[in-house]
Homo-oligomer: A and B are copies of this chain.
Amino acid sequence: MDSCVTPLRHGSLSLVQTTDFFYPLVEDPYMMGRIACANVLSDLYAMGITECDNMLMLLSVSQRMSDKEREKVMPLMMRGFRDAAEEGGTSVTGGQTVLNPWIIIGGVATVVCQPSEFIMPDNAVPGDVLVLTKPLGTQVAVNAHQWIDIPEKWNKIKLVVSKEDVELAYQEAMYNMAMLNRTAAGLMHTFNAHAATDITGFGILGHAQNLAQQQRCDVAFVIHNLPIIAKMAAISKACGSMFGLVQGSSAETSGGLLVCLPREQAARFCAEIKSPKYGEGHQAWIIGIVEKGNRSARIIDKPRIIEVTPRGAGAGGQEGTPTTTTTPSPEALV
């Protein structure tokens, strides 16, 4: 499970908590702080928990930074983390900082709650559908963005993307990674979700497989559609087996929730999450179905790639909401 659940000595309460820590992957320290916090909280959100009682921050300062760099960078990173915690309705009351060769940022999220407040991720049944709440491709976007300044790397992908495409994709990835999955967690209750997990280091397929293995019914998850930040599937393909984005193995950071919903609720979930009352930029896609099976997950042979246009892109997108166009198969993209 994404968080550990410990029954307490007090009434029917449970302690639910999770910890995660990371190395920076974007250049903006403030955004990196927000992303780290969103990623820590995401493990609670994946269980349908919308509240967090307390956060601790884990930090290491790099010994290779000058005093000036430290004084500039670390407060911004901490500020981003704290701001995201506040957006999640919680606050950071403790933690620890050490010196290390590399910068580390992460945290601990803890909540004490009633059983009704969380959704055990093991109730998927045949006939459910799978919904994903953020587009894939964050790792590809972050890497491609670094390659802009590395000619031998850039040469590998320059036939399939422009620098502007990559810049927009990077901004879109950063926006998505920093977005809390809290709205999605709340809607899991409204629409009677049967199970969920968040997409991080094992990629969409890895996490779908983990989730499938935990189910009480004999089910299999079959993924038909892959919403991906525009052009990232093309980059992944141009890089051979390096990412495996369309194969579902590309790591994501602070990815969306993969939610199993009753078929009749899924479209309503996807419509509701776009409501302006939850703020800008939320979106969700039906990406697959739950069949009878042996607790496995797979992506169909030629999945439909849903190209998610970055909200910063000039053409098409209305402000604050990414637009999507679809193509029949990944082959069409390159």
Contacts and interface: CB of A to CB of B under 8 A. Distances in A.
Interface of A: 3-4, 6, 8-11, 13, 15, 17-23, 53-54, 56, 58, 93-96, 98, 100-102, 104, 106, 108, 110, 112, 114
Closest 7 CB pairs of A and B: A4-B94, A4-B93, A101-B101, A6-B54, A19-B56, A108-B108, A8-B112
11 contacts: A4-B93, A4-B94, A6-B54, A8-B53, A10-B112, A11-B11, A17-B94, A18-B94, A19-B95, A100-B102, A108-B108
A111 B283 CA distance: 37
Given A101-B101, A102-B100, A110 B53 contact: no
A282 B198 CA distance: 46
Given A15-B112, A98-B104, 12 more contacts: A8-B53, A8-B112, A9-B53, A10-B11, A10-B13, A13-B112, A15-B53, A18-B94, A19-B95, A23-B98, A100-B100, A112-B112
B100 A19 contact: no
B6 A58 contact: no
A93 B98 CA distance: 24
Nearest to A13: B10
Contacts of A114: 10
B112 A19 contact: no
Contacts of A19: 19, 56, 58, 94-96, 108
A101 B93 CA distance: 28
Nearest to A22: B98
Contacts of A13: 10, 13, 112
A4 B56 CA distance: 9
Contact of A106 (B93, B96, B100): B96
A146 to B, nearest CB: 19
A20 B9 CA distance: 25
Contact of A94 (B3, B23, B93): B3
